[in-house]
Structure 1
Amino acid sequence: MTELIAQTPLYGAVPRTIGQTTMTEVDLGWLTSISPYAGRVPAAGAALKAAHGMAWPSAGRMTGKDGARAIWFGRDMVLLAGPEPSHDLAEHAALTDQTDAWTTVQLSGDGAEDVLARLVPVDLAAANFKRGHTARTQVQHMNGSVTRLGADSFLIMVFRSMAGTMLHDMERAMASVAARG
């Protein structure tokens, strides 16, 4: 009998370092979209805080910490990353498991901003896009999400079906930045 083994979208392809920039695949744990029912954003925020200890993020922001984050994912929508969602949230919001839908990488190192400048139509300069800021945007031609984790560190998410394309596009941008230096 064949034994099936679960693999991540970029299994065996990363980590990848080109120049001073490194791309690694990140396992965020459970990924659950939380979409409050009409008029229930405050109640969903209170339930999120009570159950998982993090505030409902404002537009373009992330709350929480490594292992348990709430990432703004659109108008009145949050992506809970890390813990299995509390059943108490279901009273106030529609919960949808997104765990297998996304490919997530961390891009870090000197030049990470320059790499993303070639791929993302958002000003990610530290003066404008600080730690904890997030954007739903295009990553090259893919729909995605970019979140600043630190001075030279970003969390990038695209749909799982685009993992190979993201790898290709990131490698080309990383090589372009490395060739400058």
Structure 2
Amino acid sequence: MVDLAEATPCAGLVPVAAGAMRLTEESPGRVTVLAALNGQGAALGRALAQAHGLGWPAPGEVIAGAGGAVRWFGPEMALLIGPEPGEGLAKHAALTDQSDAWAVLRLEGAGAAAAMARLTPLDVRESVFGVGRTARTEVAHMAGAVTRTGAEAFEIMAFRSMAASLVHEVTLAMRRVAARA
């Protein structure tokens, strides 16, 4: 009989350090995609406010509160991160639980922005992509999402099946930036 053991997407691959940078795995908890039904965006925002004290994010925006966060994830799409979706949300959106679908990494430390600049076509300068901004984008050769969580801190998401490639690519970028110092 096979013994199955639960493992995170990046188990055994992180933490990684290079120079002043550190790469760790994040565990965001429950992740639910909210896809607003046709014409229901405003009503969904009201339902989010009532159920979670959060609103509907503008493009590139993250709205965080004590009980979780809502992160823009595309036109008429957002991620509800943390709580179980409140009652009433399903009246205005298609809800999809994707808690196990993503590998989520945190890259932080001096040089993190320079490493991210090697991984994504986004302009990650803080003056352009400031704290609390998010984007669906390419990360190395993978579809993913990047959120700036601090001056030198980023959350990077890619599909769980790409976890090893994601760690490999971010580690290479970190080491190349560290070697320049």
Give the TM interval when normalised to the shorter protein: over 0.9
TM-score (norm 2): 0.97
Q: Please tell me whether residue 88 in structure 1 is matched to residue 102 in structure 2.
A: no
* Cα pair 1:67 1:81 within 8 Å, conserved: no
CA distance in 2, matches of 1:162, 1:67: 29
RMSD: 1.2
Partner AA of 1:162 in structure 2: M
CA distance in 1, matches of 2:33, 2:127: 29
Identical amino acids, percent of aligned pairs: 47
Structure-2 residue corresponding to 1:56: 56
TM-score (norm 1): 0.97
The CA deviation string for residues 131-162 of structure 1, in whole angstroms up to 9 with x for no partner, is: 11111000011000000111111111000010
Structure 1: runs of 5+ lacking an equivalent: none
How many angstroms does 1:106 deviate by? 0.7
Structure 2: runs of 5+ lacking an equivalent: none
Q: Please tell me whether residue 103 in structure 1 is matched to residue 113 in structure 2.
A: no
For residues 46 and 38 of structure 1, do their structure 2 counterparts lie closer, same or farther at Cα, with a shift above 3 Å needed? Answer: same
For residues 95 and 138 of structure 1, do their structure 2 counterparts lie closer, same or farther at Cα, with a shift above 3 Å needed? Answer: same
CA distance in 1, matches of 2:164, 2:58: 32
Structure-2 residue corresponding to 1:12: 12
* Cα pair 1:34 1:80 within 8 Å, conserved: yes
Alignment of 1:153-168 (within 5 A): 153-168=153-168
Give the count of matched residue pairs.
181
For residues 129 and 96 of structure 1, do their structure 2 counterparts lie closer, same or farther at Cα, with a shift above 3 Å needed? Answer: same
4+ long deviations beyond 6 Å: none
* Cα pair 2:37 2:93 within 8 Å, conserved: yes
